[in-house]
Structure 1
Amino acid sequence: MKRRIYQSILLIVIGLSFLKINLDANQVIIDQKDADKGIVHISYVSPNKRRLKVIIEKGEGKYVYNLDAGGKVETYPLQMGNGTYKISILENTKADKFRLVKCTEVELNMEKIEEVKLPRE
């Protein structure tokens, strides 16, 4: 009887942990409306106000940026030429450890790639 109760509790805890991961991913906004201009807009409200990182990768190239934990929309360049970019949002868990919150791909196909510019704030 006790074993069944423990198994049930364990299943509930595992289920809730998956639910939290999915809820966090739903709070991340990766706005691709200006991808044709070579930029993306990202925001995420960290429930724990932990450090956040944005990783933008294409092929062997990789750029790592900080992301505001309070939900401020920030703009990042897609500056490694045309092609498929992988964009990852990570949240600090402890010391130098991070967990993946969301990952997506963005396709860039610009005629004049040298015109990628960040908007002035």
Structure 2
Amino acid sequence: MRKAKLTALLLTFFLLFSVCSYAAVSQYDNFDNSKTEQGSVGARYVPASQRRIKTRIQNSIDKYDYDLFGRENFEYFPLQLGEGSYKVTIFENVISNRYRQVRAQNIKVTIKNLLDVFKASVQTVNWNSDMEVIKKAGELTQNLKTDKEKVVAIYNYVIDTYGYDYDKIKSIDTTYVPNIETIYQAKKGICYDYSAVFAAMLRSQNIPTKLIKGYSDLVNGYHAWNEVYLADEDRWIVIDTTYDSVLKKGNKKFSMEKDRSKYKASREY
């Protein structure tokens, strides 16, 4: 009898603990839609245990999946699929590669200026004005007038200053997201790092810049580069700072603007 009471007491405690844990997870909003007009949406989720969390941003045409690291803090993701109806879902890992849906919302998105999507601070291009690398962008462009001049100045800085990290590429994790301040201090990185730093520096100067992932005829394997919008010329140009940095250090010829036909994008941020 005493054993049965003890079992019942333990079960009650377990249920109460589970409810309290779930309540701790659910006591705040999991989505922030305050920036959707500027082209991004926020998500956060605190699991009851240390499990991998993912979020999916999708519309009727395509979907983008991201790891969600922020826990209590919102992380922001681009609405690069344009205006219209989106579903934003948060998934929690159950076992192996299986996930369960834990939160979801449907939103109708109207973006004031579609170029704003590629000026925002988001998970893949995460920046703010207090960062040293962003202050550097301001120093490089302070006396320049046109977007083209600013792009060239930051481009030259990146390809001159940063080196390719051949050791890092051997051990990179699939969940990796660049930290531009860490890269700024190290002065080296992989193509994803180059592209994130370049995009962040240009975005801080109000220049729309995409971080692109895909394949190039010029590079073996999966690659990352940028597309930059030149307002003065009303066009997007392809720039590959990683490729040019390697060529420059090898004393080989190159040009900043790349032939678009040699690049095949699969994802853009």
State the TM bucket, normalised to the shorter chain.
Answer: 0.7 to 0.9
Aligned partner of residue 59 in structure 1, secondary structure:
coil
Aligned position for 1:92: 93
- 1:79–1:38 distance in 2 versus 1, CA, 3 Å: same
Instruction: Among all aligned residue pairs of Structure 1 and Structure 2, give the percentage whose two residues are the same amino acid.
Output: 28
Q: Whose radius of gyration is greater, 1 or 2?
A: 2
Aligned residue pairs total 103
Which structure's residues are more often strand, by fraction?
A: 1
TM-score by length of 2: 0.35
Equivalent residue, structure 1, for 2:120: 118
Alignment TM-score, normalising by the size of structure 1: 0.73
Report the Cα distance in structure 1 between the residues aligned to 2:27 and 2:102, rounded to whole angstroms: 9
Counterparts of 1:71-90 in structure 2, within 5 Å, are: 71-90=72-91
Find the aligned partners of 1:47 and 1:69 in 2 and give their Cα distance.
Answer: 14
The answer to which of 28-37 and 48-57 deviates more is 28-37
Amino acid at match of 1:32: N
Q: Displacement, 1:107?
A: 1.5
What SS class does the counterpart of residue 70 from structure 1 fall into?
A: coil
Amino acid at match of 1:118: A
1:114: how far off? 2.5
In structure 2, what is the equivalent of residue 42 of structure 1?
Answer: 43
Q: Which residue in 2 is equivalent to 1:53? A: 54
**Is the contact made by 2:32 and 2:74 (CA closer than 8 Å) also made in structure 1?**
no
| Shift >4 Å, 4+ stretches | 22-28
Structure 2 residue ranges without an equivalent (≥5): 1-15, 122-126, 129-269
Q: Deviation per CA, 1:22-49: give whole Å up to 9, x if none.
A: 8555555201111111111211111111
63-72 vs 53-62, greater mean Cα deviation: 63-72
Q: Does 1:67 align with 2:63?
A: no
**2:87 and 2:105 in contact (8 A); partners too:** yes
Q: Which runs of 5+ in 1 are unaligned?
A: 1-15
- Secondary structure of the structure 1 residue equivalent to 2:50: coil
Conserved 8 A contact 2:38-2:120: no
Return closer, same or farther for 1:29/1:100 CA change in 2, 3 Å cut-off: same
